[in-house]
Structure 1
Amino acid sequence: MKRSVFLSLALLLAACGDGARDALQGYGEADYIYLASQETGVIREVLVREGEHVAAGARVFTLEPERLQYNAATAGAQSDAAAAAVRTAQADAVLAERNYARGLELFERGFYPRARLDADRAARDAANARLAQARREAGAASAATGLAQERLADTSGAAPVAGVIDQIYHRPGEVVPAGQPIAALLAPSNMKVRFFAPQDMLPQLPVGARVSVSCDGCEQPIPATVSFVAAEPQFTPPVIYSLDQREKLVFLVEARLDAPSRIRPGMPVDIRIAE
């Protein structure tokens, strides 16, 4: 891609020297979506091929799930045990509350010693504390189970949007770290063009300005909108600029295409400011 940048820059400077300023040379560029797993694992399947069109939600790859299945099973068993502990603690708390209520009634009638009532109150409070602790542990176990299931689901990667598989970086049997791209997806809406504009044209190319993009094989110009203008020039002469040197200052500009087109990354294009 650097070669394309230098070629475009050279063409632009040559055009500036000849006074041809109606069209600016540029090239197609894309913001790829890199598909990866959040888990480290061994690739089981790559279900797409380079150049293949995929729909949103289509599966792209799967990892071997066995290790994470063990984790999910362990977390599920722990969650079940925690739920059982909650039921036991709840039953103990209900019994302790009833014993205290019965002791309080007898105490108020003068048939129950205060020491016994105090012991019943302490038993009730301890049972309620055990129940609260059991519920917290059950909540943590449930969260761990949910996380284990999410990690297991992450062994299958899907395309977030429709597009074309531009490149596949890893194949079945390879170990990939978490976050390592397995495939690159190019969505039509992520195509753009990059070109270089002389500094005296920048007032005509603010962000939001409309431009027209032409290419070899394009039936008609494609409308686009300027989405980025570099703050610094790509070519920097000495600090003290002569008039001729200032004309050589060019700034990188990006424009987003209004609709899908035949323009592909690296393809040379001509850009004109829309009337």
Structure 2
Amino acid sequence: MGLGLARWYFGPEVTAYPVVKADLVKTVVASGHVETPYRVDIGSQITGVVDEVLVDEGQTVKRGQPLIRLEREELQSAMVLAEGAVAQAEARMRQMRELTQPAAQETLKQARATLANAEATYERAQRLAKGGFGTQAALDEATKNLDVARTQARTAELQVYTSSPGGSDYVMAETQLAQARAALATAKARLGYSLITAPRDGVLISRNVEKGAVVQPGKSLLVLAPTGDVQLVVQIDEKNLGLLKVGQSALASADAYPDLRFPATLSYINPSVDINRASVEVKLTAKDAPDYLRQDMTVSVDIEVDRRGGALVAPARVVHDANGGAPFVLVSNGGRAHDQPVKLGLRAGDRVQILDGVKPGDLLLPVSAGVRAGQRIRAVQP
């Protein structure tokens, strides 16, 4: 039988696709960039001149590692002065306890003894004057001496009180010591601020300072991307918004390393839509992200939005009237094409789940083959 006759008798060769049992996964594909969940701006807490920058942009640093050193001479001098003021205030307190207070107590003892003697003399002079044996001049002298002794005793008591804990002189000395210690703590802190260190582990992604620069509080000198979970920020077409849920799994890859994929989890969906791009910003968290990822690196992600395990799957190209109310396929059986109504399930890319109407291994003919039901064909698998 000639080739033309065989073609007429057996029908044309048509590529047929078998129905297979497989997991069908629907994904939403998008692209975006790498971004740490937050960045730390590192600056100076004091005004000063940069003596040395100890790190470079892109360098990995550990918490407490020195980053920038400021000139320290003036700050060291201020701390020496503050230390001297503390020593002076402490000496004043020791003097109060060791000299002033004991001396005041001794003076008080003497004043009380003098007062007791003056009181006895006054009583004697008063009795003699009443009995007519003393003179008025002697009584006046005793009265004067008694008044002086009382004044001296009150003064001595006041000196003892003011030099004792709670007294004005003691409190003033304590206050001066506290102020001196506070000034020393401030001087030490300012000296410590002259060495700027890393607040936590991370990678320096920006450096805006050089040796000799004058720095001030509030100005960012370095930007640190802390070590930890990496965040992927991507834009999703708003038509896919209904498919997304926080917690969905995804596979991501950096454009610089397209063959290396790593897992991520959808962690945030922006509540608003970008009207200019008709897209929604979503963020994915990549735990234990690969070391080759860099800040702002371009990435592609496949977010898994649905999965059907052990489904009957066929190429979408074999389904006729897929979007209509009566989808069907052409099955190759006995050398002829037979139409078969089907019920469709999940659609994922160029594959579709068939819920009813076919069985595993059935050979289905593509719509593009132009085959009609009942036509002879020779089915060949791709």
Bucket of the pairwise TM-score, normalised by the shorter protein? 0.7 to 0.9
3-state SS in 1 of match to 2:155:
helix
Q: Structure 1 residues 74, 121: CA separation in 2 closer, same or farther (over 3 Å shift)?
A: same
3-state SS in 2 of match to 1:220:
strand
Structure having the higher strand fraction is 2
TM-score, normalization: structure 1? 0.75
Shift in Å, 1:29: 1.4
The counterpart of 1:100, out of the listed 94, 108, 132, is 108
In 1, Cα distance between equivalents of 2:278 and 2:91: 74
Amino acid at match of 2:95: T
In 2, Cα distance between equivalents of 1:179 and 1:163: 21
**Native 8 Å contact 1:86 1:134 kept in 2:** yes
Q: Structure 1 residues 122, 253: CA separation in 2 closer, same or farther (over 3 Å shift)?
A: same
Q: Structure 1 residues 93, 23: CA separation in 2 closer, same or farther (over 3 Å shift)?
A: same
Write the deviation string for residues 223-266 of structure 1: whole angstroms up to 9, x where unpaired. 3351x443332227xxxxxxxxxxx7533222332123233232
3-state SS in 2 of match to 1:139:
helix
Q: Partner residue of 1:252?
A: 281
**Native 8 Å contact 1:26 1:271 kept in 2:** no
The counterpart of 1:211, out of the listed 231, 246, 249, is 249
The counterpart of 1:117, out of the listed 153, 166, 174, is 153
Q: Partner residue of 1:66?
A: 73
Q: Structure 1 residues 106, 253: CA separation in 2 closer, same or farther (over 3 Å shift)?
A: farther
Q: Structure 1 residues 59, 99: CA separation in 2 closer, same or farther (over 3 Å shift)?
A: same
**Native 8 Å contact 1:199 1:251 kept in 2:** no
Q: Partner residue of 2:89?
A: 82
Amino acid at match of 1:265: Q
Write the deviation string for residues 110-163 of structure 1: whole angstroms up to 9, x where unpaired. 679543332222122232311111111111110110111111111111122222
Q: Partner residue of 1:245?
A: none
Shift in Å, 1:199: 7.3
Shift in Å, 1:45: 0.8
Shift in Å, 1:53: 2.3
Larger-gyration structure (1/2): 2
Q: Partner residue of 1:46?
A: 53
In 2, Cα distance between equivalents of 1:155 and 1:121: 51
In 2, Cα distance between equivalents of 1:203 and 1:76: 67
Q: Structure 1 residues 105, 205: CA separation in 2 closer, same or farther (over 3 Å shift)?
A: farther
Equivalent residues in 2 for 1:1-275, closer than 5 Å: 22-30=28-36, 31-90=38-97, 91-100=99-108, 113-127=149-163, 128-189=167-228, 191-197=230-236, 198=238, 201=241, 204-206=244-246, 209-216=247-254, 217=257, 219-224=260-265, 226=267, 228-235=268-275, 249-261=278-290, 262-266=292-296, 267-273=298-304
- Total equivalences in the alignment: 242
| RMSD of aligned residue pairs (Cα, Å) | 3.0
3-state SS in 2 of match to 1:172:
coil
3-state SS in 1 of match to 2:46:
coil
TM-score, normalization: structure 2? 0.56
**Native 8 Å contact 2:204 2:224 kept in 1:** yes
Q: Structure 1 residues 182, 95: CA separation in 2 closer, same or farther (over 3 Å shift)?
A: same
In 1, Cα distance between equivalents of 2:27 and 2:289: 27
3-state SS in 1 of match to 2:220:
coil
**Native 8 Å contact 1:211 1:225 kept in 2:** yes
3-state SS in 2 of match to 1:183:
strand
Write the deviation string for residues 174-216 of structure 1: whole angstroms up to 9, x where unpaired. 111123222222233163111234376368434xx24324113
Q: Partner residue of 2:340?
A: none
Q: Structure 1 residues 87, 26: CA separation in 2 closer, same or farther (over 3 Å shift)?
A: same
Q: Partner residue of 2:345?
A: none
Unaligned runs of 5+ in 2: 1-25, 121-145, 307-382
**Native 8 Å contact 1:225 1:257 kept in 2:** no
